[in-house]
Amino acid sequence: MKREVEISALTLDPNTNSPVVVLKDKSGPDSIPIWIGFVEASAIAMELEKVEVGRPLTHDLAKNILTELGARLASIEVSDLKDNTYFATLNLERAGESLAIDSRPSDAIALAVRFDAPIFIAESVFNASRKIQEDQKAAGGAQKAQTPGEGEEVGDKPVGALDPAAAKEGEEDAPAFSQFRNENREEWTEILEKLDPKKLSKQ
């Protein structure tokens, strides 16, 4: 069982300055926050704002490749939550065939807004995320709510405790990327801060 959701917020965690995308149930009050990287958050925001760039960025390129190969993104699904990490699936269609491709939620969402594809979350993910939030409330603040690597872009995570090894999971560790990320953090922050909330749910 799964529920269709929409992007209800794309903002910055005031404690860590890390981007957070909030996916809300279209037919109910439930929502799930996912901490993502600055580059992925910017890719989502730039498409929502229809920011024009001179050359295709990574997710634009991915869309162009799929389109040229005759494939389309039918939908995406945040399909699992394991070891404090969200997992997503790209549901592609090509020549009458259906393909399911593993993906990080942030990349999947960035593609979904480009294809105008629906976003779903598995019911089991809602349940698991709710349990994490309830456990933290029960801890009465004794358990610090941490985001990935205290502000590092390390993948797509819920609020929860992360050990140092997990904090590196999913992070692009190439020196060039690390330098690019640090030099452009202010630019990504400015894009997110200027994002019009009215445009968030148009996918």
**Inter-residue contact 163 to 84 (CB < 8 Å):** no
**Nearby residues of 152 by Cβ (< 8 Å), 6 or more positions away:** 18, 167, 171
54 CB burial (10 A radius; 0-12, 13-18, 19+): exposed
3-state helix, strand, coil in the chain (%, to 5): 40, 30, 35
Q: Which of 24-28, 112-116, 129-133, 179-183 has the lowest mean pLDDT?
A: 179-183
Indicate the residue type of 177. Answer: F
Whose CA is closest to 60, among 44, 71, 49, 75?
44
In the numeric block, the tokens 């979350």 are attached to: 121
Residue 123: Cβ within 10 Å count: 12
What is the pLDDT, as a whole number, of residue 192? 55
Per-residue pLDDT tens over the stretch 70-118: 999 999 999 999 888 999 999 999 999 999 999 999 999 999 999 999 9
Task: List, in order of start, the domains of the chain with CATH numbers.
Answer: 2-199 (3.10.690.10)
Indicate if the pLDDT at residue 196 is higher than 90.
no
Whose CA is closest to 34, among 158, 152, 179, 172?
158
Helix (H, G, I), strand (E, B) or coil at 59: helix
Helix (H, G, I), strand (E, B) or coil at 75: strand
Query: What is the value of pTM for the model shown?
Result: 0.73
Q: Is 185 left (phi over 0), alpha (psi -120 to 50) or beta?
A: alpha
**Nearby residues of 173 by Cβ (< 8 Å), 6 or more positions away:** none
Read off the pLDDT of each residue in 34-44 and give the average, rounded to a whole number.
92
Indicate if the pLDDT at residue 11 is higher than 90.
no
Read off the pLDDT of each residue in 133-143 and give the average, rounded to a whole number.
67
Helix (H, G, I), strand (E, B) or coil at 18: coil
Local confidence band at 174 (pLDDT 50, 70, 90 cut-offs): very low
